[in-house]
Amino acid sequence: MTPADHTGDTSTGAKLLTAARDVIPGGVNSATRLVGAPYVLTEAAGAYVTDADGRRYLDYHAAFGAILLGHNAPEVDDAVRRAVGGIDLVGWGVTEPEIELARLVVETIPSAEQMISAMSGSEAVAQAVRLARAVTDRPLILKFQGGFHGWQDAVARNVISTPERAYGRDPLSRGILDDAIESTVIAEFNDLDSVRELYERYPERIAAVILEPIPHNVGALVPETEFLQGLRTITAEQGSLLIFDEVITGFRHALGGYQQICGIRPDLTTFGKAMGNGYPIAGLAGPRALMERFSSAGGDVLLAGTFNGNAVSSAAGIATITYLRDHPDFYERTHALGDRMRTGLGAIVSELGIPAVPAGFGGVFALYFTEGPIRGYRDLLRDNDEAYVAFHRRMTDRGFLMLPLALKRNHISAAHTEEDVDRTLEAAREVLRSVRD
Ligand code: PLP
């Protein structure tokens, strides 16, 4: 990642960033936060964030999608405040909030009979992968090009998906053992033949197929129904597990996740991000027969984690899911706003004659700078990254914060309004004209 360039900038934000670089490698705690010459953010409320120099941004970045109800949503913050000062962290037995959170997940997620709590999506995925290997007694994990499932070794192959790096060894993979890299095999999204080919090449070796049911880490590839159904059939026939990584789609697109929308039941599901509206909470859910392989139920798969199920995270998870359960109109609203954004962007690029297509699902939207149709990752290799970078930079300058990475996505929360979307489209029209010219 390239360090943010604020050369000659005397703003408070630039000074703080320089101070950060002294004590934090690169100045940030997660490498992709560095992209797009970030400033230092000091306040967040509703749909807005404010930087150290008082600039306000309408926030579609939403902490990579961890914010779903808006920043500092009162329902969640109040629940967290109530949790602080109660029973904080125990290392013995269980607390009531942990039971309540698991109960809510089991009630809302179609394929869930039991759930374990984790602190991040990466941890939940690591547990899912280990469980799949234990259950099947096989080593390999099949993932899809462009899919991202966290920083853990087992899924860290091909996380950088720029055209020149596609399909090769990931340049950010130093420190990961060759065995771990080679234990992940890569197929093409929406292409069942590429999956079958890997099963032929590695008979009885693939423990699980893991996928983002909508790969939002490359914007939004829309899964073809036959593709998801095919994965369900093939994994069942081949004795592998099907893992839906719903760390982004979970709770965001429907209360029951994308599995509720597509009607396909994975064996295991991982959640995180929006589940706690900005507080660290994640989970792995599945049927009792699989979940009871964990050592907590007398099984042989190690389950441990000092902070698992802590009071603040559990309270945030309960409050977020309860809000979503009690406000089904949330989905109608955010889906309608997402449609408005995509339709508006589509009209602008066609009016301006720019080869670009809006993409997304529900409240998630992206803009690909290439001609459609976009079916799989290969189609995205044509994307004009430079055009996106210019678009992002100029939108940020105008106070609209989007994800700085081409091929990523943006998020509409409960705090965004129709007026926000219309203002964004107005700005996008001017910015896109300037990018074209
Ligand atoms: N799975 C998906 C689909 C993700 O997008 C991410 C993070 O972006 C993860 C897993 C990892 O989650 P975390 O960053 O909380 O470890």
Per-residue pLDDT in tens (0 to 9) along the chain, 437 residues: 555 566 778 889 889 989 999 999 988 888 888 777 677 899 999 999 999 999 999 999 999 999 999 999 999 999 999 999 998 888 899 999 999 999 999 999 999 999 999 999 999 999 999 999 999 999 999 999 889 999 998 887 776 555 554 555 677 778 888 888 889 999 999 999 999 999 999 999 999 999 999 999 999 999 999 999 999 999 999 999 999 999 999 999 999 999 999 999 999 999 999 999 999 999 999 999 999 999 999 999 999 999 999 999 999 999 999 999 999 999 999 999 999 999 999 999 999 999 999 999 999 999 999 998 999 888 888 889 899 999 999 999 999 999 988 888 999 999 999 999 999 999 999 999 999 99
- Residue with the smallest CA separation from ligand 1 atom 13 is 121
Position in ligand 1 atom list of the atom nearest CA 249: 3
Q: Which domains does the chain have, with CATH numbers?
A: 40-72+328-436 (3.90.1150.10), 74-326 (3.40.640.10)
For residue 171, give the 3-state DSSP assignment: coil
- Residue 170's pLDDT is 72
- Residue with the smallest CA separation from ligand 1 atom 8 is 150
Mutate to test the pocket of ligand 1, among 123, 129, 149, 408 (most ligand atoms within 8 A of CB): 149
- Residue with the smallest CA separation from ligand 1 atom 2 is 149
Whole-angstrom distance, CA of residue 101 vs CA of residue 116:
10
Mutate to test the pocket of ligand 1, among 244, 273, 284, 409 (most ligand atoms within 8 A of CB): 273
Q: Apex CA 108: angle with CA 116 and CA 124, to 5°? A: 25
**How far is ligand 1, taken at its centre, from the CA of residue 53, in Å?**
30
- Residue 167's pLDDT is 56
Q: What is the 3-state secondary structure (H, E, C) of the chain?
A: CCCCCCCCCCCHHHHHHHHHHHHCHHHCCCHHHHCCCCCCEEEEEECEEEECCCCEEEECCHHHHCCCCCECCHHHHHHHHHHCCCCCCCCCCCCHHHHHHHHHHHHHCCCCCEEEEECCHHHHHHHHHHHHHHHHCCCEEEEECCCCCCCCHHHCCCCCCCHHHCCCCCCCCCCCCHHHHHCEEEECCCCHHHHHHHHHHCCCCEEEEEECCCCHHHCCCCCCHHHHHHHHHHHHHHCCEEEEECCCCECCCECCHHHHHHCCCCCEEEECHHHHCCCCCEEEEECHHHHCCEHHHCCCECCCCCCCCCHHHHHHHHHHHHHHHHCCHHHHHHHHHHHHHHHHHHHHHHHHCCCCEEEEECCEEEEECCCCCCCCHHHHCCCCHHHHHHHHHHHHHCCEECCCCCCCCEECCCCCCHHHHHHHHHHHHHHHHHHHC
- Residue 222's pLDDT is 93
Tell me which residues have their CB closer than 6 angstroms to ligand 1.
64, 120-122, 125, 148-150, 212, 217, 245, 247-248, 272
Whole-angstrom distance, CA of residue 145 vs CA of residue 167:
7
**How far is ligand 1, taken at its centre, from the CA of residue 430, in Å?**
33
Whole-complex ipTM: 0.99
Could you tell me the pTM of the whole model? 0.96
- Residue 212's pLDDT is 98
Mutate to test the pocket of ligand 1, among 64, 68, 117, 122 (most ligand atoms within 8 A of CB): 122
Judged on CB neighbours under 10 Å (0-12, 13-18, 19+), 54 is exposed
Q: Name residues whose C-beta falls within 8 Å of residue 206's C-beta, 6 or more positions apart in sequence.
A: 138, 140, 141, 142, 185, 198, 199, 238, 240
- Residue 311's pLDDT is 95
